């Protein structure tokens, strides 16, 4: 009889131990799911939702040496909460500076979502599409900047060659060192880039340049500018802008510059299309996460 009760007690202990183990596993899994849901909600609020509003912007013209990259991907200021980045200026937040962006990229590539529920499987598909879509945006932007770099190199070469031939008395200087008989190479380069973009529009006839005459020593001088000073030249040399305009147009219409401008336009269209699709997918992802991972009541 004693053996019977001993065996029964051992069996009961085993059953109780098993039950406690199962309950512990369930509790651990529940806590794991809660922690995972909390991390995903945080990522959604602080990274994914902001990322879904990214815009393509053109940097303003620079006259400080060689211009920076033309395009940047920015999150509007009003879309960035103060607790994410309280220092965002009016131009918005460059997406590469978004805190947690690397975590967001990892999540899209390998989302921590279940394979067992229909809604989370659908979210996984959207995440993978968004990851590929962002790669398309970045790659198209890279191709645009590569084409722009080729165009800048061609323009720089022609500016140096033709300014020396057409205006041998002028010397290139930085913008803050303008003096008599000088030209601002960086301003010319930036102006050429702008005009090259405009030249793809129907009816383009070239730039409008009007010299401004000034009195001074040695017969005075003239300045040619378009809002940014391009050159300052003595009146004893012909300050007529028509000669400069012809040289200007020849740069813009050269084969290397024109081909690069057309390639940039194609890539710009590709960026816009890819970015539009990416934003749409990201909006679906953030909305789906809000539904799937609502805080526990």
**Residue range 170-180, pLDDT digits in tens:** 899 988 888 88
CB burial of 94-107 (b: ≥16 within 10 Å; e: otherwise) equals ebeebebeeebbeb
Q: Does 142 fall in a domain?
A: yes
**Do 254 and 269 have their domain in common?**
no
**Do 247 and 288 have their domain in common?**
no
**Do 63 and 195 have their domain in common?**
no
Question: What distances in angstroms separate CA 233 from CA 81, 106, 168, 280, one per listed residue?
Answer: 51, 57, 11, 53
What is the domain count for the chain? Answer: 2
Give pLDDT, residue 32. 45
**Do 266 and 200 have their domain in common?**
no
Q: Does 203 fall in a domain?
A: yes
**Do 86 and 161 have their domain in common?**
no
pTM score above 0.75 = yes
**pLDDT tens for residues 53-102?**
999 988 877 777 666 778 889 999 988 888 788 888 888 899 999 999 99
Please enumerate in sequence order all residues whose Cβ is within 8 A of that of 249, keeping only pairs 6 or more positions apart, or say none.
Answer: 206, 207
Neighbours of 78 (CB within 10 A): 9
**pLDDT tens for residues 244-281?**
888 889 999 999 999 999 999 999 999 999 999 999 99
Q: Does 99 fall in a domain?
A: yes
Neighbours of 274 (CB within 10 A): 21
**Do 94 and 238 have their domain in common?**
no
Tokens encoding 69: 């990259």
Q: Does 187 fall in a domain?
A: yes
**Do 283 and 199 have their domain in common?**
no
**Do 144 and 265 have their domain in common?**
yes
Three-state DSSP state, 281: helix
Three-state DSSP state, 266: helix
Expressed as residue numbers, the domain containing 158 is 149-259
Q: Does 11 fall in a domain?
A: no
């Amino acid at each position: 009889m004693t053996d019977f009760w001993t065996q029964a007690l051992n069996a009961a202990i085993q059953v109780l131990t098993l039950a406690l183990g199962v309950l512990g596993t369930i509790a651990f899994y529940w806590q794991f799911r809660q922690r995972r849901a909390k991390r995903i909600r945080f990522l959604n609020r602080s990274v994914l939702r902001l990322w879904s509003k990214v815009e393509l912007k053109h940097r303003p013209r620079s006259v400080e040496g060689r211009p920076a990259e033309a395009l940047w991907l920015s999150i509007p200021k009003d879309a960035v909460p103060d607790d994410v980045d309280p220092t965002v200026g009016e131009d918005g937040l460059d997406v590469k500076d978004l805190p947690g962006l690397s975590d967001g990229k990892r999540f899209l590539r390998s989302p921590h979502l279940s394979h067992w529920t229909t809604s989370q499987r659908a979210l996984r598909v959207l995440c993978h599409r968004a990851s590929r879509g962002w790669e398309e945006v970045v790659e198209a932007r890279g191709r645009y900047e590569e084409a722009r770099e080729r165009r800048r190199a061609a323009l720089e070469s022609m500016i140096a060659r033709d300014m020396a031939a057409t205006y041998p008395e002028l010397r290139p200087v930085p913008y803050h060192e303008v003096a008599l008989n000088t030209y601002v190479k960086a301003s010319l380069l930036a102006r050429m880039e702008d005009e090259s973009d405009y030249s793809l529009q129907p009816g383009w006839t070239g730039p409008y340049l009007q010299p401004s005459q000034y009195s001074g020593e040695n017969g005075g001088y003239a300045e040619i500018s378009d809002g940014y000073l391009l050159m300052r030249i003595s009146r004893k040399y012909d300050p007529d802008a028509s000669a400069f305009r012809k040289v200007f147009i020849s740069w813009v219409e050269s084969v290397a510059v024109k081909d690069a401008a057309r390639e940039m336009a194609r890539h710009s269209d590709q960026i816009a299309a890819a970015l539009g699709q990416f934003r749409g997918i990201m909006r679906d992802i953030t909305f789906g996460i809000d539904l799937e991972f609502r805080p526990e009541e």
